[in-house]
Structure 1
Amino acid sequence: MLHKTFIFLAFCAFSFGTFAQDAYLNAESEDTDKTYQGEEPYKVKMYTQKFKAEKPKNIIFLIGDGMGVSQVFAGITANQGKLFIENCRHIGFSKTQSASDYITDSAAGGTALSCGVKTYNGAIGVDADTVKVKSILEEAEDQGLATGLVSTSAITHATPASFIAHQSSRNMYEEIAADFLNTDVDVFIGGGLSHFIARKDGRNLVNELKEKGYTVENDINKIAKIKKGKLAGLTAQVHNPRMNERGDMLPVATETALNILDDNDKGFFLMVEGSQIDWGGHASSTVYIVEDMLDFDQTVGEAIKFAAKDGETLVLVTADHETGGMALTGGDMTTGMVKAAYPTTSHTAVMVPVFAYGPGAEEFIGIMENTDVHDKMKKLLLGK
């Protein structure tokens, strides 16, 4: 009887996980007038522009999913005139079109950034012919660098998955989770626990991760105390919740990952995704976008603080695409009020900004393909 109950609960978890994975696409805006009213701003520090080397030993690659210029300026307005991202003096733009569509999805957009190939919408770490392509994270592993992934979504979701998995469809969540066992990634923190334990094939990937030497933890407060070794932080059954519930999960997870990865004398590659800027765009919610834009910027602040002290770290900030066609129709720099309008609840085709800080930052000026971002990172970090 107990065995049957477990099977039933596992099936329910699987069914719920599959539904919950994409529930954000149908989210509705709670701010019906599309206005963020403004809150107390956080202080922004401007850091040194002097570095120890011409090329980076480490790269921190931050992806604001769905973040276009309007989302960035909404954040600047909401924080009353200043963001940490303004430390990045070298700025360019990325064209986001995929091999199959004028408007990319996060899978093809993520794969272009991670693997340097244009592919079809829905593809994870494979080219347009479904042939596996190594990501920059995997190539960094091959050269002995430490590697990490952090996300506010499920770690099996399209953007983080594109750095570590190779599947023909972004919806193959269990197969993507299994791909984590095929790598030596040092740290990954995000949601997606159900894809590791409530599986159709009966595998318990958490146990397999432990057998490979990972500390597996679900509580972000406990995760924050881990300073060394391999870490799998699975902080939600599927996606992490919104800001009012998850708090400072993203900057804390990023700081934790940096503490661990910095132990490697050869250097590291870390990808951090602020996933839910995109979800606010799908919901046409100015409040949602601004909350997550500010959370993402404070995470950028953690990265730049580390890079400024280290002197050998390149920080890159970009997006896989823009979401919602966000148009700023009103605002107030003194109160932080932001008002916006949205022509779509889907992605758009516009170029997205690329911000760079640290050794090699000058390479990221001008208009480039999203695959160029990958190629420039790879040349700077791995020399190829």
Structure 2
Amino acid sequence: MKRFVCVVALPLALAVPAQAQSQPTAKNVIYMIGDGMGPAYLSAYRYYLAGKPGNAVAPTIFDQLLVGAASTYPDDDTWVTDSAASATALASGVKSYNGAIGLDTDKQPLPSILANSKRAGKTIGVVSTSQINHATPASFVAHVASRKSYEVIANQMTNAMTAATPELDLMFGGGLSYFSQQQLETMNRAGVALATNWQQLDEIEKLPAAALLAPVALPYAIDSDRDQRLATMTFTALSLAESNPKGFSLLIEGSLIDWCGHGNDIACAMKEMEDFAAAVTVAKDYVDEHPDTLLVVTADHSTGGLTLGADGEYQWLPLEVKRVHASTETIANALLHTTAEHYAQEWSKYVDFELTNAELTELALLANENMYTVAAKIGQMLSVRSFTGWTTTGHTAVDVPVMAYGVGAEQFTGYQDNTDIPKKIINILAID
């Protein structure tokens, strides 16, 4: 059976600082990335839970674990990273160009934390709410020049899982449409436990295992009929990985925080934060029960330039955000599939406040536009009501939060670059 082999020899370990040889050693690491989760998202989620301004404000799971911050710039002609360059840095400790998946600026393969962990005999896996071959999980497993090479990445992941000695033990997420029937059959023949729905995921009892639970990404949390989907995948991944006496290294991504940020959709973003928080809580509980484990939570970048307060108003109204029960994309699709005279009725199925006549007129003028244009207008309307500000539909260069818990957590205190995070993890895992 064909194995996934890199075209050049890889170094056996990430380059790590020489100090840290006396620090505590962890058996396991749970590495979690909230894609697009800049610092304003943590603040917004805290006040979203508190509700009405003036209510008591309690620390969230993120606040409880917060220890530092990290810069995110790529090795490129900009300070603003994309998810591929940042994930490559977070995986390997080496900066690269925007679009790179597991490659340096010379387009040579970089060893990741997961690859080093596998060489040390640990179980490794990736979990994501996006398609599993998307930029962040891909950068921990694959090596391609462009993040858009989804089929190539899927093939490398298939080869890694089906090698005679598997080079990837677990992958849970979306992306079924990127894997051919032949690749799925190859996984079956190689003994990979394969799930394409949630019931089948619940029935997985052994590794290697792959769960491809949606054609592309999973539905947004706000649109989903399944609560805590990332927490469910996280719990299952931990349950399967913990049987290895040499430990495990898992990458778990809350992917769609970023997608909501790109859409300037605050209600969507808060539900993704809620979903990610539930998964982080599962991970923290695991560390409490297994004190030989390190949990690290961070973001690859911030998305959207989110601000709490806008247009000179000293207000942010999370209760207005909570009155929205679908993503702007879902609402836009619903409006485009009806006529303007039925907009108010259709809107009421998803939102607990009425549109003004002026807003109805604005939406009616977009009846022949595409879904994304209508969704953007709806996002603006929701942002105006909640005094939510956005500066971009892209990424920003602000530093991102770093959270840590368990063995060696104190090593992540204060400022660091994103390349420092994997180097510290490798030291704490004591992988040579």
Please state if 1:239 is matched with 2:217: yes
The amino acid across from 1:214 in the alignment is V
Distance 2:288 2:319 in 1: 29
Query: Is residue 267–residue 321 contact of structure 2 (8 Å, CA) maintained in 1?
Result: no
Say how many residue pairs are matched: 326
Distance 2:408 2:129 in 1: 28
Q: How does 1:67-82 map to 2 (within 5 A)?
A: 67-80=37-50, 81-82=58-59
**Other-structure match for 1:343:** 391
The farther-off stretch of 117-126 and 205-214 is 205-214
Please state if 1:353 is matched with 2:401: yes
Shift of 1:78: 1.5
Q: 1:215 to 1:242 in 2, by over 3 A?
A: same
TM-score of the superposition, structure 1-length normalised?
Answer: 0.82
Distance 2:26 2:141 in 1: 22
The amino acid across from 2:398 in the alignment is V
**Other-structure match for 2:292:** 312
SS at match of 1:174: helix
- 1:132-191 deviations in Å (ceiling 9; x for gaps): 111111111111100111100000000000000000000111110111134221111011
**Other-structure match for 1:275:** 255
Shift of 1:380: 1.0
SS at match of 2:179: helix
The amino acid across from 1:205 in the alignment is Q
**Other-structure match for 1:56:** 26
The structure 2 residue matched to 1:156, chosen from 133, 144, 165, is 133
Q: How does 1:215-294 map to 2 (within 5 A)?
A: 215-243=193-221, 244-245=223-224, 246-294=226-274
**Other-structure match for 1:46:** none
Distance 1:294 1:68 in 2: 15
Q: How does 1:11-30 map to 2 (within 5 A)?
A: none
- 1:194-237 deviations in Å (ceiling 9; x for gaps): 11117xxxxx2111111221011111232023232211000111
The structure 2 residue matched to 1:209, chosen from 160, 184, 187, is 187
Query: Is residue 150–residue 190 contact of structure 1 (8 Å, CA) maintained in 2?
Result: yes
Shift of 1:333: 8.1
Q: How does 1:323-334 map to 2 (within 5 A)?
A: 323-329=303-309, 330-331=315-316
Distance 2:119 2:211 in 1: 23
Please state if 1:380 is matched with 2:358: no
The farther-off stretch of 328-337 and 218-227 is 328-337
Distance 1:96 1:78 in 2: 26
Shift of 1:108: 0.2
Distance 1:325 1:333 in 2: 18
**Other-structure match for 2:340:** none
| Larger RCO, structure (CA 8 Å, separation 6 or more) | 1
Distance 1:142 1:181 in 2: 19
Distance 2:231 2:31 in 1: 14
Query: Is residue 124–residue 170 contact of structure 2 (8 Å, CA) maintained in 1?
Result: yes
More strand by share: 1
Distance 1:333 1:309 in 2: 35
Note the aligned Cα RMSD (angstroms): 1.8
The farther-off stretch of 131-140 and 242-251 is 242-251
The amino acid across from 1:218 in the alignment is T
Q: 1:333 to 1:82 in 2, by over 3 A?
A: farther
The farther-off stretch of 302-311 and 225-234 is 225-234
User: Percent identity over the alignment?
Assistant: 40
**Other-structure match for 1:115:** 92
Distance 1:335 1:194 in 2: 36
Distance 2:202 2:104 in 1: 36
Query: Is residue 220–residue 249 contact of structure 1 (8 Å, CA) maintained in 2?
Result: no
**Other-structure match for 1:297:** 277
| Higher Cα Rg, which structure | 2
SS at match of 1:224: helix
- 1:256-294 deviations in Å (ceiling 9; x for gaps): 000000000101001110011111111111101111011
Please state if 1:178 is matched with 2:132: no
**Other-structure match for 2:75:** 99
Structure 1: runs of 5 or more not aligned: 1-52, 199-203
Distance 1:378 1:64 in 2: 20
**Other-structure match for 2:368:** none
Distance 1:293 1:134 in 2: 30
- 1:347-382 deviations in Å (ceiling 9; x for gaps): 000000100000100010111111101111111114
